[in-house]
Amino acid sequence: MITYLERYQEFAAAGYENTRVWVELTSLGQEIRQEPLYSDARSVARETMLRARQNIETLIERLKILEYQFLVPDQAWIQPDQDSIAALDSFEAQFGPLPLSLRMWYEEVGSVCLLGSHPTLSYYDTSMRGATPFYSDPLVINPLSDPPLPFYIDLAFDWDQEEVTGPPYAVWLAPDAIHKANLSGGGPTMLLVPNPAMDAPLISDQWEGVLFMNYLRECFQWGGFPGMKDSPDLASAELDFLSKDLLPL
């Protein structure tokens, strides 16, 4: 019987997305944690994120060619190392499993911060005074560093004002699109754990309910700036350059 990994690789070799493999594995929920399915699912997630890693490397180099001004250049892409992978193990031991999509992102890609300024790609308030704001929502996936907050930390029972301090926990992945422009916006983009599934939906003003993998696909479709889908003519040439031949996930 053909494995999920073999199906994924067959489509990848032909240059197509294989969303069906991800949909099927995600639909199985926590069943993917049982062998031999678990090893197969991990292999699919790893293969996917190796392709995402190559896309990030391509985007960083192309943005440099476009003279993009990264907000913090040395944090634009922080690649994983043995310490960061060990930190993932410690996180899951304490707070429960991350969905495999996010776990493998951190194992193979790391953290990414495309915040910055460019006349047509990204508005950032302190460096572009006088310009008209636009919200290109540059790709950001924060490092998995600070302990996650209980998602219902502010929920208090009327009779004793006791805060909810247990799971689920909120992993803060990124600011919202308006905060990314250094303006006052809404709540962050989050993902809840523990979640033993293949993938998980985001909690976000812009991406509410969108699966993490679908978010990544849309980010790469728009060259790392998915907010540009609302005004694609503003930087059509730059977006074509950034997104050209990125690997489908």
Alpha-carbon gap, residue 232 to 214, rounded angstroms:
19
Q: How confident is the model at residue 161 (pLDDT cuts 50, 70, 90)?
A: low
Judged against a pLDDT cut of 60, whether residue 89 lies above it is answered with yes
Judged against a pLDDT cut of 90, whether residue 244 lies above it is answered with yes
Q: Which residues of 184-215 are buried (b: 16+ CB within 10 A; e: fewer)?
A: ebeebbbbbbebbbbbbbbbbebbeebbbbbb
Q: Where are the domains of the chain?
A: 4-145+212-243
- DSSP, collapsed to helix, strand or coil, labels residue 159 as coil
pTM of the prediction? 0.93
Render pLDDT for 28-54 as a digit per residue (tens, 0 to 9).
999 999 999 999 999 999 999 999 999
Q: How far is CA 187 from the centre of its chain?
A: 16
- Alpha-carbon distance values, 19 to 144, 193, 218, 223 (Å): 26, 23, 13, 19
Render pLDDT for 68-85 as a digit per residue (tens, 0 to 9).
999 999 999 999 999 999
What pLDDT was estimated at residue 218?
97
pLDDT over 70 for what percent of the chain? 93
Judged against a pLDDT cut of 90, whether residue 26 lies above it is answered with yes
Render pLDDT for 187-215 as a digit per residue (tens, 0 to 9).
899 999 999 999 999 999 889 999 999 99
